[in-house]
Structure 1
Amino acid sequence: MNSKISPEPETRLDTKSQSLTKTLIEAIVNGEIGSGSKISEPELAKQYQVSRGPLREAIMRLMGLGLVERIPHVGARVISLNVDKLFELYTVREALEGMAARLAASNMADSEIEYLEQLLERHLGHIEEVDGASYFHQYGDFDFHYLVIKGSKNEQLISLLCDELYHLLRMYRYQSPQSESRSVIALNEHKQILFAIRNRDGELAELLMRRHISASQKLITNSL
């Protein structure tokens, strides 16, 4: 007799929804589903071969991440990239990531700092081997900013920057034109921030991170 217990329907629904959410996040971030485009449940259900239940759950999660908005009398749409939203987002990002860098200088373990040094060496090789603009497409454990935020050890900052705002920031970074020269400059700025963190200079780390993000914001603004 088979003693294995089948997952409850709610569990299966949630698993499908989580998987679909990840797929839709990447499609929106990389522009496969264009900014400002209307979300059609029948079309997406057919495209991804899912039922409407998991799809609606996924759309709700996307709304929570700021990637989709519901407009009265129109319905759900992917957010449109614009200068006003970018300015608001990067103003918050500059302040919070500056704070994260300052905390990381005090709280990151030596092993985490060593990993960041190795990561930036890998990033240099990536820039040299491929189109440098793709340097801005790094995410998760390959994203310098993500790891600095994690290194702050502040759960509120991590929740805000690595969960709630993270993919919206990725969307702007991914879909805004970037030059290869800017990727080299950005890498050098990352090295300077890491130097301050390694030397446990929180004040300098915060200053450099804020300058770095401000420069990125101006560049993206000019490209929109």
Structure 2
Amino acid sequence: MLPNSEQAITSADKTFLRLRKDIVEGLIASGSKLSETELSTNYGVSRAVIREAINRLESCHLVERKANIGARVVSISTEGLMELYQVREALEGMAARLAAIHMSDVEIADLNSLLDAHFQTVKDGETYYQEAGDLDFHYRIILGSKNSQLISILMNSIYHLIRMYRVQLGMSGPRVTTAFDEHKQIVQAISNREAELAEMLMRRHILYSKNNLQRKLSGQPQTKIKAL
């Protein structure tokens, strides 16, 4: 599911979104060279449309251009993922702070309803996974910051890179119950309009995820973090 702001309208939009999805999900492998001719045939659109999509993907940092090589899907590494999480910790912490100030009571109520809907998933011991877009807890808070620059940086670049890393490195569904409890605490702080606390809780939430991902990637057992 796409965020409301990303509804495909034109053929170019649809091609961009489809190509981005294929890259994020690993259907087009990281490090792969992107051939306009080949993609044009596979996607059934003109080379001009593919060229535009590649340019947009470059601005999302999912594609890079190298001299004498051309456009390639970015390569993934553990170090790169950790760097992204460091940036994400700072920016999403700020988003949570701003959300506590700017989110409307209705938006906060909707966020609580989202958590209620997730409760049964956690209770049943299933993977705690949020769909991209409207149903995603983090997207809602980012949008709730009402800061267009922050929204653009996180949702148009960093978030898709992180999703690509997590999908292709098999990092989906970590820290099921603990992550849900942390989400509840963050929403409570936002509901109480405690901006500083909301930022601290979100930063800690992202940091715990980063540390557990790092342990998993290095083959060490994940640390169970006890919720406050």
Could you state the TM-score of these two structures normalised by the residue count of structure 2? 0.83
Residue 21 of structure 1: CA displacement? 0.3
> 1:104: how far off?
0.9
Contact 1:176-1:223 at 8 Å conserved across structures: no
Alignment counterpart, residue 79 of structure 1, candidates 53, 59, 74: 74
Q: Following the alignment from structure 1 to structure 2, what is the Cα–Cα distance between the partners of residues 179 and 163?
A: 20
In structure 1, runs of 5+ residues without a counterpart are 1-13
Larger Rg, first or second structure (1 or 2) = 1
1:156 equivalent among 149, 168, 171: 149
Query: Which has the larger share of helix?
Result: 1
RMSD of equivalent CA atoms = 2.1
For residues 119 and 113 of structure 1, the distance between their equivalents in structure 2, rounded to whole angstroms, comes to: 10
Residue 102 in structure 1 maps to residue 97 in structure 2: yes
Aligned to 1:183: 176
Equivalent-residue separation in structure 2 for 1:175 and 1:215 (angstroms): 20
Q: CA deviation at 1:216?
A: 1.6
Q: CA 1:186 to 1:110, structure 2 compared with 1: closer, same or farther past 3 Å?
A: same
Contact between 2:166 and 2:172, CA under 8 Å: does it hold in 1? no
SS in 2 for 1:39: coil
The 5 A counterparts of 1:15-30 are 15-30=10-25
Can you list the C-alpha shifts for 1:24-48, whole angstroms capped at 9, x where unaligned? 1111111111112221222211111
Letter paired with 1:83? T
Report the secondary structure of 1:165's partner residue. helix
Q: State the distance in 2 between where 1:115 and 1:33 align.
A: 36
CA distance in 2, matches of 1:176, 1:83: 9
Deviations 1:90-128 (A, max 9, x none): 221111110110111111111101101111122233456
Among 47, 50, 57, which residue is 2:52 paired with? 57
Count how many residue pairs are aligned between Structure 1 and Structure 2. 209
What SS is found at the alignment partner of 1:141? coil
* CA distance in structure 2 between the partners assigned to 1:172 and 1:44 by the alignment: 23
1:130 Cα deviation from its structure 2 partner: 8.9
**Identity %, equivalent residues:** 52
Instruction: Give TM-score, length-normalised by structure 1.
Output: 0.85
Match of 2:213 in 1: 220
Superposition deviation, residue 206 in structure 1? 0.6
